[in-house]
Structure 1
Amino acid sequence: MQVNPYLFFNGNCEEALNYYQKALGARIEAKMPYGDGPAEMPMPADWKTKIMHARITIDGEVLMASDATPGDYKAPQGISVALAVEDPADAERRFKALAEGGTVRMPFGPTFFSNGFGMCVDKFGIPWMVNSPKEGM
C-alpha cells in the first residue's frame, strides 16, 4: 500500500508543478488535462488545458495534483506537506524556495527537535513544513 498527498489547485496546477520542478527538483511523471477526458464530461471550454490529474515525484516520493473543478476549490486547512531533508543547508534552500511569494508561518531555524525547521504556505496556497531532523528523531 502507498499513501500519497493529493493537492488541489485553483486553476494554477500546471504553474505550481513547474515551480516545484524548479524549486524542489520535482519530476513531473504524468499530466492529463481535462481536455483529454471523455467528450461527454461537462466542463467549461476554457478548462480544457487545466490539469485533471498529475503525478510528480520529489526525491522519489509521490505527490499527485489537479485543478479543482470550477467552483469546488477550497484552500487547504488542517494539513501540510512535510519534507524531511537530511542536509540542513538543503532544507533551508528548499524552504526559502517554497516560501518565495508565499507566507512564512514559522521561519526556518534550529529547534529542540531539528537541525532546521520551518513552516510556510507557498504562493499557490499549499502549506509546507520543511524539517532537517536531528539524529534519532
Structure 2
Amino acid sequence: MKYMLMRKADADTEKGVMPSEDLLQSMADYNERMTRAGVFAEGQDFEPSQSLEQHRSLGCLPREMNVHVAFAGTCKEAMEFYSEVTTGKLESMITYGETPAAEDVPPEMHDRIVHSSLNLRGRRLMGADMAGNCYQPPQGAQIHLEYDDPEQAGRVFKALSDGGSIIMPFAETFWAHRFGMTTDRFGIQWMISSQIEHCQ
C-alpha cells in the first residue's frame, strides 16, 4: 500500500503563491518520518528551497525509472537467479511463443523470454532475450544495490560473483563501509555497497 501527502490548493495557491516555508518544512519532515518508518519508498519532492517553477516541473519527470537488460538466451535462468539472490518478486516471465507475434518469430525463439520483470522494492529490473545479431553484451553500465547490512551485501556480492568475474573486490573504501564490483556469469555488471551514506 502506498500513501501520498498532498496539500489541497487554496485561493493563494491558485494565484501562484507558494505555501509558507514552515508548511513546506513540515511536509518534508513528515515525508522523512514516513520514509524511515518504511511507509514511503522515498520521501522527496517537498523541499522548502524549491521554487514554484521547480514544483511545477515535477510533473514533467518520469513516473518511474527502471532498468532493462538483454540476454543471449539465458534470460529465464538469469532472472530466476536474481530473484533468488535478492529475494525480489519475479512479477512476469513471458515467452515469445505466448505473444500475438509468435507466428512471426522463428520457432527456436518461442521458448525464449520477450519480457521479464523483477520487483525490488518498487524498482524493476527487466530483461529479455535478444534474437541472433540483435544481442550485444552490455557495456558501460552497472546495476547498483545498496544494503544496510554489510554481511547481507557480502553474501549478495559473493553469489553474483560465482561463475563470473570480480572487477573490484568487496571491501572497505573511502566512500562506503563496503563496496565491490563484479560481472556475473550472465555478463551483467553489478555494484554492491553497504552503508555508502556514512561517507556523504
TM-score category (smaller protein): over 0.9
Please report how far the alpha carbon of residue 26 of structure 1 lies from its aligned counterpart in structure 2 after TM superposition: 2.3
Give the residue type in structure 2 aligned to 1:15. E
Please report how far the alpha carbon of residue 40 of structure 1 lies from its aligned counterpart in structure 2 after TM superposition: 6.2
Task: Choose the corresponding residue for 1:86, options 123, 133, 148.
Answer: 148
Instruction: Could you list the structure 1 runs, at least 4 aligned residues long, displaced by more than 4 angstroms after superposition.
Output: none
Greater relative CO (CA pairs within 8 A, separation 6+): 1
Corresponding residue for residue 47 of structure 1 = 109
Distance in 1 between residues matched to 2:180 and 2:101, nearest whole Å: 44
Between the aligned residues of both structures, percent identity stands at 36
Please report how far the alpha carbon of residue 69 of structure 1 lies from its aligned counterpart in structure 2 after TM superposition: 2.1
* Correspondence list, 1:1-137, <5 A: 1-39=63-101, 42-132=104-194, 133-135=196-198, 137=200
Larger radius of gyration: 2
Unaligned runs of 5+ in 1: none
TM-score by length of 2: 0.65
Q: Deviations over 1:17-54 (max 9, x none)?
A: 11112222121101110001224652221111110001
Instruction: Name the SS for the 1:94 alignment partner.
Output: helix
Please report how far the alpha carbon of residue 82 of structure 1 lies from its aligned counterpart in structure 2 after TM superposition: 0.5
More helix by share: 2
Instruction: Name the SS for the 1:71 alignment partner.
Output: helix
Alpha-carbon spacing, 1:82–1:39, altered in 2? closer, same or farther (3 Å): closer
Q: CA RMSD in A?
A: 1.4
CA contact (8 A) 2:102 2:110 kept: no
More strand by share: 1
Alpha-carbon spacing, 1:82–1:40, altered in 2? closer, same or farther (3 Å): closer
Alpha-carbon spacing, 1:90–1:60, altered in 2? closer, same or farther (3 Å): farther
Give the residue type in structure 2 aligned to 1:51. I
TM-score by length of 1: 0.93
